[in-house]
Structure 1
Amino acid sequence: MINVALLSKWHVHAKDYAKEASENKDITISVVWDENRERGEQWAQELGVPFEADLENVFSDSSIHGVIVTTPTTAHTEIITAAARHGKHIFTEKVLAPTVKECDEIFSAVEEAGVQLMVSLPRLTERFYLYAQKILDEGCLGNLTSVRCRVAHHGAVPTEESRHGWLPGQFFNKEEAGGGALIDLGAHPIYLSNRLGGKVKAVTARLQQTNGHDVDDNAVVIVEFESGALGTIETGFLSYGCPDQLELYGTEGTLLIENREPRELISDRVEKDGLIMSDQLPKALPSAMEQWVAAITKNTDPTITKEDIRSLTLMNEAAALSHKEGRRVELSEIGKSYSAITK
């Protein structure tokens, strides 16, 4: 049994991870810590577990085997490296850290401690992505020429109750969140595009602050892949009723996916194209948390990799620099180049 501590309810997905952990037969939630004591005590009471105000006491408790981190993003590096030094396995909300330099610090601490680290990049385990990857790998689209991926919602559209909309106010605090729509919701189209398009050469980005927020609430990134293909990453907190969209275009085919359901394949390389039936899709992979548990208990290799995790932050950092300086940014300008990524 893996005894875990829940570290902070800052992120909107904290409750989701707590629910998944509580439903996993190999995990027991043992304690809650939160930088906001009132919030943490209430959460601990809801879960029927103790609250611990001193994080060092959590880390020093030998009965705690792992931590689930949903703290402010900018606190990830300090908390995750400390957890690793104390021999705790780590499951964390995306992104791992705001900068590539911090990611590398975390990787070093994790490797030295010999613990398992998992970042939740959930759509890499879903059937629609696995189908898209299969279609590409089998050459059904010919040479990939363009990728478009959009994930957006209306969480920052002001309401009578809140000028921030239904998202919590802390999501718009740059000192805590480290960024806005792109670093959070935009993670999904970034890591999907990274997998499907391959290694990225350069980006040009525009991060808008539409409603006077401290962070971006609407963003677009134009991606240049090393293969010569182009990509468009779109995200935001201002789009009501917006469907998730993934479009792959190649020299011999097109694949259209909406709301995580493949809709249509048009290709000269398949016997029968057109509408896609659900029985044509691959089986989903185990979730990020299930893969984390398997890595701890069975020493298996997760399908969500160090390169997926690091490249997500690399793209965010390059996009932020592109917006700030109003120019095209090559990824080799940020931290180490792709070729230097250690496996």
Structure 2
Amino acid sequence: MVNVALLSKWHVHADDYARQANQNKHLQIKLVWDENAERGKEWAKKLAVPFEQDLMKVLTNPEIDAVIIDSPTNLHKEIIILAAENKKHIFTEKVLAFTVEDCNEIYETVEKNKVKLMVSLPRLTENYYLYAEQVLDEGLLGKLTYIRCRLAHNGAVAFEGNPNGWLPKHFFNKEECGGGAFIDLGAHPIYLTNRLAGTVDAVTARLQKRFGYEVDDNSVAIIEYENGVLGTIETGFLSGGSPFQLELYGTDGTLLIEDSKIRIKSKRLNEGWNIPEALPEGLPIPMEQWVNSIIEGTEPTITETDAQGLTLINQAALISHKLGRRVEIAELMS
């Protein structure tokens, strides 16, 4: 049994991860810590486990084997490094950290202390993504030229009694979040597009503050990949009824995914649009992959490259927006 401490209920997915942990036969939630003691005590009571206000007491507790981190993003680096130095395995909400340099420091500490780190990038395990990967591997689109991926919702649109929409107010705190829609919801289009297109060469981004928040609420980025593929990533907190869309265009065909609707047109298939008869089986969710890596030593399909690439584009996008120009990745590495 892997004994787990939950570190913060700041993120909106914290309850989801607690539920996943409770449903996993190899995990047992033992403790809750939160930088907001009142919130943490309430959560601990709900989960029927003790609350510990001192983070270091949690991380030095010999009964705790692993931690699940849903803290403000600006605390990720500090907490993850402390957890790794105390030999705790780590599951964390995205993004891993704000800069590639910080990510490198985290992974060096994780490797040195021989613990398992998983960043939750769940859409890499979904059947529609695996189908898109399969279509590319089989050459059904010919030479890939362009990817468009959009994920947006109306979480920042005010409604009666909720001037900031249904997202928690702290999701608009620039210091804690490091950004708004692009770094949070936009993470999913970023890591999907990165995985499908490869190594990033340059980023041009507009991170708009349409409703006057501290952080962006309506954003788009053009990603140039080393292999010549162009990617467009769209996200925002201002779109009512916006479907998830993943579109791949190539010299020999097109793949369109909109929520659960999938269709493909290819020179190698029947004329016109085709609907796939079956999709690949989805992979284990990130939580399961993490546990399996701890217990069985299996290699997760979600990798350091995925997590680093997510931070890389976010870091470049912030610079691009601030300077009002295209940013080459080489600039960040110099």
TM-score by length of structure 2 reads 0.98
In the alignment, the residues of structure 1 paired with residue 182 and residue 296 of structure 2 have an alpha-carbon distance, to the nearest angstrom, of 35
**What is the distance in 1 between the residues matched to 2:8 and 2:274?**
44
Q: CA deviation at 1:271?
A: 4.7
Query: What root-mean-square deviation, in Å, do the aligned CA atoms of Structure 1 and Structure 2 show?
Result: 1.0
- Please name the residue that 2:193 is paired with: 193
Structure 2 letter corresponding to 1:274: W
For residue 101 of structure 2, give the secondary structure of its aligned residue in structure 1: helix
Partner secondary structure for residue 4 of structure 2: strand
Tell me what 2:170 maps to.
Answer: 170
Name the SS of the counterpart of 1:135 in structure 2: helix
| Alpha carbons 1:73, 1:177 under 8 Å: kept | yes
The answer to whether the 8 A contact 1:31-1:52 is kept is: yes
Match of 2:210 in 1: 210
Code of the aligned partner of 1:77: K
Partner of 1:322: 320
In the TM superposition, what are the counterparts of 1:46-57 in structure 2 within 5 Å? 46-57=46-57
The equivalent of 1:285 in structure 2 is: 283
Task: Kindly tell me the number of residue pairs found equivalent between the two proteins.
Answer: 334
Corresponding letter in the other structure for 1:331: I
Distance apart, 1:270 and its partner CA? 2.6
Aligned to 2:295: 297
TM-score, length-scaled by structure 1: 0.96
Kindly state the Cα deviation for residue 320 of structure 1 after the two structures are TM-superposed. 0.6
Deviation at 1:205, TM superposition (A): 0.3
Partner amino acid for 2:249? Y
Write out per-residue CA displacement over residues 295-327 of structure 1, whole angstroms, 9 at most, x where no aligned residue. 000001000010000010000000110000000
Aligned to 1:268: 267
Tell me, in whole angstroms, the C-alpha distance in 1 between the residues paired with 2:202 and 2:294: 36
Query: How far is 1:335 from its partner?
Result: 3.5
* Structure 2, gaps ≥5 residues long: none
Match of 1:109 in 2: 109
Contact 1:95 / 1:312 at 8 angstroms: preserved in 2? Answer: yes
Cα distance between partner residues in 1 of 2:59 and 2:305: 27
Separation in 2, partners of 1:268, 1:69:
46
Structure 1 stretches of 4+ moved >3 Å: none
SS at match of 1:302: coil
Distance in 2 of aligned mates of 1:137 and 1:262: 21
How is 1:219-234 mapped onto 2 (pairs within 5 angstroms)?
A: 219-234=219-234
1:163: how far off? 1.9
The corresponding residue for 1:333 is 331
Equivalent of residue 310 in structure 1, options 283, 308, 311: 308
Aligned identity (percent) is: 61
Q: Which amino acid aligns with 1:276?
A: I
Instruction: Show CA shifts across 1:208-246 (max 9, x none).
Output: 011111000010001111111211100000000000000
2:32 and 2:272 map into 1 onto residues whose CA distance is 51
| Residues 264 and 273 in structure 1, CA contact (< 8 A), matched pair in contact too | no
- What is the aligned partner in structure 2 of residue 340 from structure 1? none
- Aligned-partner Cα distance in 1 for 2:333–2:108: 15
8 A contact 1:128–1:262 mirrored in 2: no
Secondary structure of 2:333's aligned partner: coil
The alpha-carbon deviation at position 273 of structure 1 amounts to 6.2
For residues 271 and 3 of structure 1, what CA distance do their matches in structure 2 show? 53
Structure 2 distance, partners of 1:301, 1:148, is 29
